[in-house]
Amino acid sequence: MEARTCAYGSFWMMLATAAIVAGLNACGGDKKQEQKTSAPGAPSTPISEAAISGTITLDPALKDKVGKAPLLMIIASTSSDPSKPALVVKREADARFPNDYKLTAEDITLVGSSFEGKMYVTARIDPAGMVGPPRPGTFDGTYSGNPVHVGSSKIDIVINKAY
């Protein structure tokens, strides 16, 4: 009787191990496949080029109003409407200006989204660190050429509005 129990225990242990290995292999499997595939006939683009980058500056008239250690948020959204959820909200504590930035797929905060197409890029300083429509005490700026294609550089923004 003990031999059967040991054999059944080994069977269940092997089955559990196989299930765990299969589950671990499935984690991130889609991500690896997405990185390797591209549209038919499209030139191959390295993942590192799928970025939006530039420099954020602060209007000198706002320098004394934002505080000594502002929380800078760089926001990328598929919509110009601030009440719509942003695809990327990159927060940088104790920001210094000018501030060079780079947004990539690794910065996505909206689950299930992909970093492609056109984006509206804004920069904001909000004392509460909140996104959405601006509130009193918020400072922001938008890129004048919005929307921009993912892969664009020199997307420079001046924070020049106080709410």
pLDDT tens-digit readout, 30-46: 443 333 333 444 333 33
Least trusted range by pLDDT, from 21-30, 50-59, 69-78: 21-30
Nearby residues of 55 by Cβ (< 8 Å), 6 or more positions away: 98, 99, 100, 101, 156, 157
User: Which H, E and C letters describe 82-130, residue by residue?
Assistant: CCCCCCEEEEECCCCCCEEEEEEHHHECCCCCCCCCEEEEEEEECCCCC
Q: Within 10 A of 52 (CB to CB), how many other CB atoms are there?
A: 23
For the chain, give the mean pLDDT. 79
Q: Does 3 have pLDDT greater than 80?
A: no
Range picked from 20-24, 106-110, 113-117, 140-144 for highest mean pLDDT: 140-144
* pTM reported for the whole predicted model: 0.67
Three-class secondary structure of residue 66 per DSSP: coil
Domain boundaries, the chain: 2-36, 50-162
- Reported confidence tier of residue 83, pLDDT bands at 50, 70, 90: confident
